[in-house]
């Protein structure tokens, strides 16, 4: 692919935590047979103690590398383009049509908005030709451009795509709320834990944030794996604090169990994670010290 990574590393903190605090831009990485591209759509700055109500201000003193100088916690909102062999698909569908003006009590400000169509165009991808979009869950910042009202075409931005959805996630939709996805009844494929939806791409059920929250495990073809884990964790701080629930977790005990399973898996050799909300250091692993270590192209290879 012509698009090259645009990631700029941040300085390391004294405690060795090298996570970033800037909102992400478009990037592409290749691991073995797998090519991943982050497709940005929106960014938001969060108020840390409100997003993580179990934390207090003093808890964040050791996590300044995750925060802006003003003390806010940046989180990106976007999608992951996955290419392997003959498969080209998205994981999640961005934030979609948002004004950036309707802030929740745990949000400070929005940054770039409605960028996903332009981001896909920069990658040379026609969203109308994608055959699958796999969702981690049904929250609006993950279903945005797949929603019935996303664009004038009632089929959404992804006119031909099938919707791959974890079993149980339909139960997260409030009664009478209407369809979350365009053509939801006809186009949705319910996926069970462990199901392979394409060569080297399988579902991993990590419930708690929502009832059917699903991570997607991607095989690189050379013995490594990448886990796109959605909102099982929202920030690298949860690697060290898996007991810190997020205010939007539907089942806080279940979400903590899933986080602990995820952290254990990411600590294995050859396993990487993709945290869609992890500011500008979204691809990484858990190192021997139990911290998030962002992927380094020079040391981790391609």
CA–CA separation, 178 vs 170, rounded Å? 11
Contact call for residues 100 and 53 (beta carbons, < 8 A): no
pLDDT of residue 102: 72
Instruction: Output DSSP code: residue 24.
Output: P
CA–CA separation, 213 vs 207, rounded Å? 5
Strands 188-191 and 196-198: unpaired
Among residues 146, 156, 67, 79, which one has the least CA distance to residue 108? Answer: 67
Task: Collect the ranges in the chain with pLDDT lower than 70.
Answer: 1-21, 99-100, 103, 105-106, 112-114, 297-299, 301-302
CA–CA separation, 272 vs 229, rounded Å? 10
Q: Which residues make beta-bridge pairs with 31? A: 34
CA–CA separation, 138 vs 156, rounded Å? 15
Contact call for residues 10 and 302 (beta carbons, < 8 A): no
* Residue where the block lists tokens 């040391």: 299
pLDDT of residue 111: 72
CA–CA separation, 54 vs 228, rounded Å? 25
Contact call for residues 217 and 230 (beta carbons, < 8 A): no
Among residues 122, 176, 174, 120, which one has the least CA distance to residue 151? Answer: 120
pTM, entire model: 0.90
Q: Which helix (H) or strand (E) holds 239?
A: helix 237-240
Contact call for residues 164 and 134 (beta carbons, < 8 A): yes
CA–CA separation, 65 vs 17, rounded Å? 7
* Residue where the block lists tokens 């996303």: 150
DSSP string, 42-108: EEEEE-HHHHSTT--GGGGGGGGGGS-TTS-EEEEEEEEEEEETTEEEEES----S--S----TTEE
Contact call for residues 54 and 70 (beta carbons, < 8 A): no
Among residues 144, 134, 136, which one has the least CA distance to residue 114? Answer: 144
Write down the CATH superfamily of domain 27-216.
Answer: Ribonuclease Z/Hydroxyacylglutathione hydrolase-like (3.60.15.10)
pLDDT digits (tens, 9 = 90+) for 81-101: 999 999 999 999 999 887 667
Classified as helix, coil or strand, 121 is: helix
The whole-angstrom distance between residue 229's C-alpha and the CA centroid of its chain comes to 6
Domain ranges of the chain: 27-216
């Amino acid at each position: 692919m012509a698009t090259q990574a645009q990631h700029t590393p941040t300085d390391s903190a004294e405690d060795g935590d090298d996570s970033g605090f800037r909102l992400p831009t478009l990037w592409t990485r290749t691991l073995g047979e797998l090519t991943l591209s982050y497709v940005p759509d929106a960014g938001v700055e969060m108020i840390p103690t409100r997003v993580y109500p179990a934390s207090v201000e003093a808890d964040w003193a050791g996590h300044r590398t995750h925060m802006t100088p003003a003390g806010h916690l940046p989180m990106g909102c976007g999608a992951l383009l996955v290419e392997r062999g003959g498969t080209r698909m998205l994981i999640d569908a961005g934030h979609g049509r948002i004004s950036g003006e309707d802030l929740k009590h745990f949000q400070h400000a929005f940054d770039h908005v409605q960028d996903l169509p332009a981001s896909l165009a920069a990658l040379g991808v026609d969203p109308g030709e994608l055959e699958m979009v796999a969702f981690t869950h049904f929250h609006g910042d993950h279903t945005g451009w797949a929603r019935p009202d996303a664009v004038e075409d009632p089929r959404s931005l992804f006119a031909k795509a099938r919707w791959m959805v974890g079993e149980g996630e339909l139960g997260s939709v409030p009664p009478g709320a209407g369809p979350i996805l365009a053509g939801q009844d006809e186009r949705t494929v319910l996926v069970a834990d462990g199901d392979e939806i394409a060569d080297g791409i399988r579902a991993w059920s990590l419930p708690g944030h929502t009832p059917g929250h699903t991570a997607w495990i991607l095989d690189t073809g050379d013995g490594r794996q990448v886990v796109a884990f959605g909102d099982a964790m929202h920030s690298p701080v949860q690697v060290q604090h898996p007991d810190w629930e997020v205010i939007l977790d539907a089942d806080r005990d279940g979400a903590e169990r899933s986080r602990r399973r995820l952290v254990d898996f990411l600590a294995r050799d050859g396993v990487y994670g993709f945290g869609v909300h992890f500011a500008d250091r979204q691809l990484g692993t858990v190192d021997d010290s139990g911290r998030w270590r962002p992927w380094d192209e020079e040391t981790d290879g391609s």
